[in-house]
Amino acid sequence: MDQTYVGHTLFQSVPFEKEMLTSRLVMAPMTRMFSPGGIPGENVAHYYRKRAENGIGLIITEGTAINHPAAVQSPDIPRFYGEDALNGWAHVVHEVHEAGGKIIPQLWHVGAARKAGSEPNVEAPPVSPSGFTLKGKSNEKIKALTKQEVLDMIDRYAEAAANAKRIGFDGIELHGAHGYLIDQFFWERTNKRNDEYGGNIGERTQFAADIVRACRKEVGPDFPIVLRFSQWKGTDYEAKLANNSNELEQLLSPLVEAGVDIFHCSTRRIWEPEFKDEDLSLNLAGWTKRITKKPTIAVGSVGINRAYLSNQDNADRTIVDKLAMIDEKIEAGDYDYVAVGRALLADPEWAIKLKNGQLDRVTHYTKESENYLI
């Protein structure tokens, strides 16, 4: 079977707000825990530069901790506060820019996904909207955020956004997916609040919307704010924030009004329709763009032959088949950018090999790829 990619849309130069990307390909954020003490070092700068100089238009960093003691669950996850960590990130930015790429940090708080007693701050309890686990159960080890703590958390995101602009990043991404803190406010299973940060599907967006507004105040009108969101959660792959396009519109409209520039729509399989009883040609990114009229990033098992956490091979849907479908969707205006994760983890030259018709030379992803430093 011919495994040569003959499309062209992925390697078009494309706007990223007022800047231009050299391609539509985005490096998806992937947690690696290679930053001892939370400080990204030379190895991290080299890792991102290699992807930028090999055809990736936009790099989204691995999740990086905002300035809150319970933001993450490992001392080796990079921080986005403290001059030592920020100086490390400034060097990363320099390397990526020198290679011709653009880069944005993913600002992260894991909320109730963090286990009590986790490093780097073992004394800090996990926090969440209502003190519930991701299974929807009350847990005394998880602290429900007070109203003042919610407001303080919003300030911590805004502080990180200001730092991102100060040290030269090209925008920011807010991690609002996969059952982490912002997503816990979106989700009815984990948000049982009775103040303005709880309520129906539209009202549960208030936390994220206030974060976006606070970040916008810090960075000004022309600094891109990307929001990553998902239906699925790390504990429930069948979870739904929105069961149909009407509910999705209720979720997204307040976020558009708050100032989100681009939606990063995380799915496990880019080719799957989002709603089985509605337009089957649209995945989550397609529906999001139709509803919001904002640019979208689509993602989901693009450069691999096995879907995320799937035990079944997708050999009947080859990488080239998926890329051909993606070309059609981009040309149809369903989405604007395509994020690639594990394929780039395994091979920093994946994009340029694809462009040059050398997929047969790609180093394919295996579980061991997660240990790569290149």
pLDDT band at 85 (very low <50, low <70, confident <90, very high): very high
The rounded distance, in Å, linking the Cα atoms of 240 and 68 is: 28
Give the residue extent of every domain in the chain: 9-371
- End-to-end Cα distance, the chain: 30
Q: What is the mean pLDDT of residues 344-360?
A: 92
Q: What pLDDT, on a 0 to 100 scale, did the predictor assign at position 316?
A: 52
Residue 180: active-site member:
yes
Q: What pLDDT, on a 0 to 100 scale, did the predictor assign at position 40?
A: 98
Hey, is 29 helix, strand or coil?
A: coil
Q: What is the mean pLDDT of residues 19-44?
A: 96
Q: What pLDDT, on a 0 to 100 scale, did the predictor assign at position 1?
A: 41
Q: What pLDDT, on a 0 to 100 scale, did the predictor assign at position 309?
A: 46
Q: Do 89 and 80 meet the contact criterion of CB atoms below 8 Å apart?
A: yes
Q: pLDDT digits over 52-68, tens only?
A: 999 999 999 999 999 99
Q: What pLDDT, on a 0 to 100 scale, did the predictor assign at position 73?
A: 96
Q: What is the pTM of this model?
A: 0.95
Q: What pLDDT, on a 0 to 100 scale, did the predictor assign at position 303?
A: 82
pLDDT band at 369 (very low <50, low <70, confident <90, very high): low
Q: What pLDDT, on a 0 to 100 scale, did the predictor assign at position 7?
A: 72
45: closest CA among 2, 103, 4, 112? 103
Q: Is 80 exceeded by the pLDDT of residue 368?
A: no
State both tokens at 235: 């504990």
> Please, which residues have CB within 8 angstroms of residue 129's CB and are 6 or more apart in sequence?
111, 144, 145, 184, 185, 190, 191, 192, 193, 197, 198, 207
Q: Which CATH architecture has domain 9-371?
A: Alpha-Beta Barrel (3.20)
Q: What is the mean pLDDT of residues 187-215?
A: 98
Q: What pLDDT, on a 0 to 100 scale, did the predictor assign at position 364?
A: 82
One-letter amino acid for residue 78 of the chain? P
The rounded distance, in Å, linking the Cα atoms of 41 and 312 is: 37
Residue 96: count other Cβ atoms within 10 Å of its Cβ.
27
Residue of 47, 180, 197, 365 with catalytic role: 180
State both tokens at 173: 């991404």
Task: Please state the separation of Cα 124 from the chain's center in Å.
Answer: 25
Strands, DSSP E only, in the chain?
14-16, 19-21, 25-27, 58-65, 102-108, 127-128, 143-144, 172-178, 225-233, 262-266, 296-299, 337-340
pLDDT band at 320 (very low <50, low <70, confident <90, very high): confident
> Please, which residues have CB within 8 angstroms of residue 122's CB and are 6 or more apart in sequence?
none
Hey, is 311 helix, strand or coil?
A: coil
Hey, is 4 helix, strand or coil?
A: coil
Q: What pLDDT, on a 0 to 100 scale, did the predictor assign at position 101?
A: 97
293: closest CA among 268, 269, 260? 260
Q: What is the mean pLDDT of residues 126-153?
A: 96
| pLDDT, greater one: 314 or 75 | 75
Q: Is 70 exceeded by the pLDDT of residue 3?
A: no
| Average confidence score pLDDT of the chain | 93
Q: What are phi and psi of 173, to 5 degrees?
A: -120, 130
